[in-house]
Amino acid sequence: MSKFDKTKKMKRTLLLATLAFSFLGNAQSLTSANEPTIGETSNMYLCDSFTVNYAGITGSGVTWDYSNLVGITGQTRLVSVLDATTAPNAADFPTSVKAISVESSMTSYFTSTAADRTSQGFVFNEATLGDIVASFSTDNEVVVTYPFALGSTSTDLFAGTVSYVLGVPTTSPMTGNVYSTIDGQGTMLFPSAVTVPNVIRYNIIDTSVATGTALGDLEIIRNQYEYYSNTTNLPIFTITKLTIQTVGGGTVINEFSLVLSAYVTTNFLSIAEKEEVKFTVYPNPAENEIKINGEFSPNAVGQIIDQSGREVSNFKVINNAPIDISSLENGMYILRITDDNRATSKNIVKR
């Protein structure tokens, strides 16, 4: 394997290895008493990674409308609560009591008290490079303080190491900070007219800095939403966005989204169909205008969608024609191109 190929694999591995789930508990207030229990499972449907996160819909009595949720054909992920002392890699997390396993991706380890819940780290399973172990052994990550209800917030610092194999076993130091809150309470709408009342939304944002990696010093940012009903201890819906960039907000190396739903959707898209509309957008980030380059039919149309799910612009797609974004507020948007029943989305940044 060439050094270039190893570096590409390292980029992908570090990105996926940061996807540690919090998966707290049910009811309208999170406490140590309603955390997931060992033996619980949930089979969740993998959904379109560009599903909007409705970041702007917060507060009491709100509605999160996912009635048009799109699933990926034949793709599910089993979420299991394990006994940490007998789980894989138990020796790397000797103080952990429970572990949350997300099928074909990772296992996160944690402990709880009446006052809080703390994460000792996680393991990402990579067939080629072996286990990627992130251990917060120097300073555990507090992900929630109890009781946690609408408007509650928690902040903490954490530290430890990331171990991986890139030709030879390597360990890099890691430090980070985390902010978590319950920012909404209300109703969720799913396809097939499914309505779920009494839902709370937990949001966690953490930033890790791994130093001395094969790619230099990296900043890894996770923004994750978890929705809980009062009938289950595991979440009914999660949406996660990860960004890896050089420290200080410099070059974006990669971005990744994962959306899981406990409710089956009637709208499905194959992985191949999801990638069928091939295009590039430039410049990105952009200040005043963007251009789209690809092969489109005369029926191709575009939308720009903000982080609350609101369409802020729509247009007919013409190859390399300028699209004015000067009136948009600075921030991240979703650019979605639909062409003869095929659709693909990309993130764009207005600055």
Q: Model confidence over 69-120: pLDDT tens digits? A: 988 888 888 999 999 999 988 999 999 999 998 887 778 899 999 999 999 9
Q: Is the pLDDT of residue 7 over 50?
A: no
Average pLDDT of the chain?
83
First to last CA, the chain: 39
Token reading at 244: 């890896």
Task: Determine contact, residues 348/290, Cβ cutoff 8 Å.
Answer: yes
Q: Is the pLDDT of residue 273 over 50?
A: no
Task: Determine contact, residues 49/269, Cβ cutoff 8 Å.
Answer: no
For 162, residues 6+ apart whose C-beta sits below 8 A from its C-beta are 14, 17, 132, 133, 134, 135, 171, 172, 174, 210, 213
Tell me the pLDDT band of 336, cut-offs 50, 70 and 90. Answer: confident
Of 9-18, 38-47, 228-237, 335-344, the poorest mean pLDDT is in 9-18
> pTM of the predicted model, to two decimals?
0.71
Degrees, nearest 5: CA angle 215-216-218: 90
What is the reported pLDDT for 288? 93
Tell me the pLDDT band of 130, cut-offs 50, 70 and 90. Answer: low
Each residue's pLDDT tens digit, 296-316:
888 899 999 886 667 899 999
What is the reported pLDDT for 176? 92
Please state, in angstroms and rounded to a whole number, the distance separating the CA atoms of residues 104 and 164.
17
Q: Is the pLDDT of residue 266 over 90?
A: no
Task: Determine contact, residues 13/129, Cβ cutoff 8 Å.
Answer: yes
On the 0-12 / 13-18 / 19+ scale of CB atoms within 10 A, 110 is: buried
Determine the residue type at 189: L
Across the beta sheet with 311-316, the strand order is 311-316, 301-305, 331-339, 342-350
Across the beta sheet with 322-324, the strand order is 279-282, 289-294, 322-324
Q: Is the pLDDT of residue 328 over 90?
A: yes
- What is the DSSP pairing of strand 41-47 with strand 59-65? unpaired
Tell me the pLDDT band of 2, cut-offs 50, 70 and 90. Answer: very low
Q: What is the 3-state secondary structure (H, E, C) of the chain?
A: CCHHHHHHHHHHHHHHHCCCCCCCCCCCCECHHHCCCCCCEEEEEEECCCCCCCCCCCEEEEEEECCCCEEEEEEEEEEEEEECCCCCCHHHCCCCCEEEEECCCEEEEEEECCCEEEEEEEEEEECCCEEEEEEEEEECEEEEECCECCCCEEEEEEEEEEEEEECEEEEEEEEEEEEEEEEEEEEEEECCCEEEEEEEEEEEEEEEEEEEECCEEEEEEEEEEEEECCCCCCCCEEEEEEEEEECCCCCEEEEEEEEEECCCCCEEECHHHHCCCCEEEECCCECCEEEEEECCCCCCEEEEECCCCCEEEEEECCCCCEEECCCCCCEEEEEEEEECCEEEEEEEEEC
What is the reported pLDDT for 290? 94
What is the reported pLDDT for 260? 93
What is the reported pLDDT for 215? 64
Please state, in angstroms and rounded to a whole number, the distance separating the CA atoms of residues 161 and 167.
18
Q: Is the pLDDT of residue 125 over 90?
A: no
Can you tell me the mean pLDDT for 178-186?
Answer: 96
Q: Is the pLDDT of residue 186 over 60?
A: yes
What is the reported pLDDT for 344? 79
Q: What top-level class would CATH report for the domain 275-350?
A: mainly beta
Angstrom CA distances, 297 to 21, 48, 64, 102, 269, stand at: 41, 23, 34, 40, 20
Can you tell me the mean pLDDT for 329-334?
Answer: 84
Tell me the pLDDT band of 129, cut-offs 50, 70 and 90. Answer: very low
